[in-house]
Structure 1
Amino acid sequence: MMLNLIDKIGDWNPQLFRELKGRLKIFNVAIAVATSLLLQMVVFLYQLREFPDDQYALTATYCRLRKVYELRQNQIYQQSNQPQIDDLNDFFSKNFCPQNEIDWQLWWRDHWEYIFLSLSVIFVFTLLVAGTYLLINDLAKEETRGTLNFIRLSPQSETSILTGKLLGVPSLVYLVILAAIPLHLWSGSSARIASSYIFSYYAILAASCIFFYSAALLFGLVTRWFSGFQPWLGSGAVLLFLFTTMVLASSYSNSLNNSTTWFRLFSPWDTTNYLFPNLFNLSKASPLKSLEFFYLPLGANIVSAVGFHLLNLGLCSYGIFQALKRCFRNSQALIISKKQSYLLVAFCQVMMWGFSLQHWNINSTLYNQVGQNLIFLVLYNLMLVLSLIAVLSPHRQDVQDWARYRHQGVSSHKNVWQDLIWAEKSPALVAIAINLTIITIPWLVWISLTSVFDTDHSPNWAGDNFDRLKVLLTIALSISLMMIYATITQLILLLKTPKRSFWAIGTISAVTFLPPMILEFIGMSSWKHPTVWLFSTFPWAAIEYSGATTIFMALLAELTVLALLNFQLTRQVRLAGESATKALLAGR
């Protein structure tokens, strides 16, 4: 029967068959099952350490006489009779709770709940951290042995190969968890936890595995230069992320009423805490119950809360899988196409703005909601645009091929713009401009919907000098600065020097983050020297202290620089597209 099952798996997915055959050896399976059973025994015995014995205190949680003690204590406190209080405390400290007065039913229910919650936490860390490590390590070994190229040449589809990797490589980890599922279900049932909540947790766990495992495969494909350090870096990042989000979810000052909520939803802790309120022993209800998205009450019921979490992970996993399919066959291909970048940026704006617009207090206005999230929105979009510049900008050979052979498929000037918008080997400036436009649209809508001339409701970051013209000019200033960065990146990638990518990343990182750091270090704060800050990566910091005329002049200066850089870029692309014969005759 087992042979027939393996044969069917081989017919359905040869890559999965290859992975399972190499890992499900008798010794490996025995070790995995033994590890799981040992872990379950440790968890079970650890919870028994507080088993009520003959010396169980009268004031302990599960002693029924505790209520008598508390009632009598309150009566004596009301009488302010200190000797009786001392006698009462002395009596209860010297005597123990009779076995027939212990609430065994409640103790066992809590005992099973502790086991259930402990296993739930262990499942998350084991699956996500160990599975991520195994997947990245497997890709690194395949690359070292040279077998990854043979897999790429396989007639199987990318989906079949990648699915085989996702299901097969962490198969022993799956086995460890599957061996613990019976105890997990039994403990949950004994703790009177609803089956719908338990299976909702399993759905969240499965969706998290798909997301993190897909991201791990993509990380393994695009970071080959880390060599043997890849698995530790990837799994360490996942461990740090899970630990950080668990601390945030277990914090009493926990809040989900800002745009950072989207990134926390990639972790399973907040939704798991929503399903099982005793997970972190917090006295207050889960903050997910008050979660809103564009004012829609997602946390009002379990269906919308869990459903949105699964939808977010599903959409992001689908996007990562599309990038995987692009990079798997051709390791030099761009992670995403220009068309996909437009969809990605639009999706990110919807998610970030959706969690920014929440009724976080009674007096909250649209002004204040965006104002409180301004720093997050600016930083998120800055990192998003810089990432797109790095991902979409083609290298010299690609631009040369596009410029040299474009005439074979293009016959009109209109199609040149179509190439700049859609073609992968064309310069990325037009695509970056379109993405910046998509980012700008929500800001323009916000400006048009808010009473920008009402200074009584102006956000904290704008002060009394906030007006529509200054904000529009600052947005234009930010766009022109990002376009300058994109042009510089493309110019560096057109050079003939080796390691152009590192030079481009280093240059853009330096011009992005060093000027603000240097200005703050030498004491030139935005409120003291706002004009200088208008030329930095964060012109928003100087908007309150600058006049509209000053901002406009800074914008003209940046547009001039952008025009000169683009003139140089156009010249370089034209030279790169010349044939070797023409360049030789021209003396180049």
Structure 2
Amino acid sequence: MLTHWLTQLSDRNPQLLREIKGRVTRRHVLVTLALSLVTQLLIVGYHWRRLGAASAETSASPMMWRLWWFDIFNTTTWLALLLLLFLGSYLLVGDIAKEERRGTLAFVRLSPESAQSILLGKLLGVPILLYAAIALAVPLHFWAAVNAGLSLLTIANVYALAATSCSFVYTFATFHALGWGAQAQALYVLPIPCIIYFLLWLFSFYARYLGLPANVYDTVLIASFKPSSFFSFLLVMLAVGSFGLWRGCIQRFHLPPLRH
């Protein structure tokens, strides 16, 4: 089954298979699994202690339990976004710059594989262990959201905005790395994830200002996604920006770097 799956992946996107083979080792998988599970336990343990302190003063009501689950959902959301936006862009820039220095990216450009396929393999394959760590936290995240009383549509909107934010930041990081070549540094990309993260936090503050219910006002990601809302506007703008940067990456791929 695994051999058949790898053969299909090799036919569809050889670059993605190369990235996976270079990163997915038994040791790396075990470390990723351990870090993800330990982090989840720390989050639950921290909020459990807070619940214990609160219930010592008053009995734990159903609303208190909903707020407890929401705190877990909220903490997991922002921590996952922090890792995806900052660590993911760092990994992409570092990988492309390293391949430019070694000259391996020049050989990849000579392959019959399309620029779109190669870049997609990079975007999906370079942060593959990061994706795995986040994916391991999805069950806890989803279960916390359901127990906090959030609708399935709201949860889907959370994942949609997170995916769109990552898409924009990753395509920008790739575009920068292709332009600067071996001189590319993640430090120059850092302002973009900072801005995106700040915008999400700002909208979270705005949602609180609007007076949303107590169990939902602490994060922008679960606010109302009406067509006229700022949140839908952000979602659309990030999607449009990602598409434009993606087209730029494809055009930039076969051109020499601006800096050597």
Deviations 1:526-569 (A, max 9, x none): xxxxxxxxxxxxxxxxxxxxxxxxxxxxxxxxxxxxxxxxxxxx
Number of residue pairs the alignment of both structures matches: 252
- 2-structure distance, mates of 1:307, 1:55: 38
Judge conservation of contact 1:214–1:317 (CA < 8 Å) in 2.
Answer: yes
Structure 2 partner of 1:29: 29
| Compared CA separation, residues 18 and 103, structure 1 to 2 (3 A) | same
Q: Quote the offset at 1:307 in angstroms.
A: 4.8
| Compared CA separation, residues 111 and 232, structure 1 to 2 (3 A) | same
Judge conservation of contact 1:23–1:172 (CA < 8 Å) in 2.
Answer: yes
- Return 5+ residue gaps in structure 2 as ranges: 210-214
| Compared CA separation, residues 7 and 306, structure 1 to 2 (3 A) | farther
Deviations 1:496-526 (A, max 9, x none): xxx9xxxxxxxxxxxxxxxxxxxxxxxxxxx
Q: Confirm or deny that 1:314 pairs with 2:254.
A: no
Deviations 1:273-302 (A, max 9, x none): xx942228xxxxx7x88x9xxxxx712xxx
What aligned pairs does 1:112-131 form with structure 2 within 5 A after superposition?
A: 112-131=69-88
Judge conservation of contact 1:200–1:306 (CA < 8 Å) in 2.
Answer: no
Deviations 1:139-179 (A, max 9, x none): 01101111010011111111111111111001011001000
Q: Quote the offset at 1:248 in angstroms.
A: 3.3
Q: Quote the offset at 1:317 in angstroms.
A: 1.3
Q: Which residue identity is paired with 1:109?
A: R
1:277 corresponds to which of 197, 212, 217: 217
Q: Quote the offset at 1:48 in angstroms.
A: 1.1
Structure 1 partner of 2:41: 41
Q: Is the partner of 2:217 in helix, strand or coil?
A: coil
Q: Confirm or deny that 1:148 pairs with 2:105.
A: yes
| Compared CA separation, residues 116 and 127, structure 1 to 2 (3 A) | same
Judge conservation of contact 1:221–1:328 (CA < 8 Å) in 2.
Answer: yes
- 2-structure distance, mates of 1:110, 1:331: 53
Q: Is the partner of 1:20 in helix, strand or coil?
A: helix
Judge conservation of contact 1:129–1:238 (CA < 8 Å) in 2.
Answer: no
| Compared CA separation, residues 54 and 178, structure 1 to 2 (3 A) | closer
Structure 1 partner of 2:203: 249
What aligned pairs does 1:159-198 form with structure 2 within 5 A after superposition?
A: 159-198=116-155
- 2-structure distance, mates of 1:118, 1:54: 18
2:255 corresponds to which of 330, 345, 359: 330
Q: Is the partner of 2:56 in helix, strand or coil?
A: coil
Q: Which residue identity is paired with 1:51?
A: L
2:170 corresponds to which of 204, 213, 216: 213
What aligned pairs does 1:438-449 form with structure 2 within 5 A after superposition?
A: none
Identity of aligned residues (%): 33
Q: Which residue identity is paired with 2:118?
A: I
Q: TM-score normalised to the size of structure 2?
A: 0.86
Q: Confirm or deny that 1:232 pairs with 2:162.
A: no
- 2-structure distance, mates of 1:215, 1:53: 44
Q: Quote the offset at 1:326 in angstroms.
A: 1.3
- 2-structure distance, mates of 1:47, 1:216: 35
| Compared CA separation, residues 15 and 312, structure 1 to 2 (3 A) | same
Structure 2 partner of 1:108: 65
Judge conservation of contact 1:248–1:254 (CA < 8 Å) in 2.
Answer: no
Q: TM-score normalised to the size of structure 1?
A: 0.40
Which one has a bigger Cα radius of gyration? 1
- 1-structure distance, mates of 2:53, 2:175: 54
Superposition RMSD in Å = 2.8
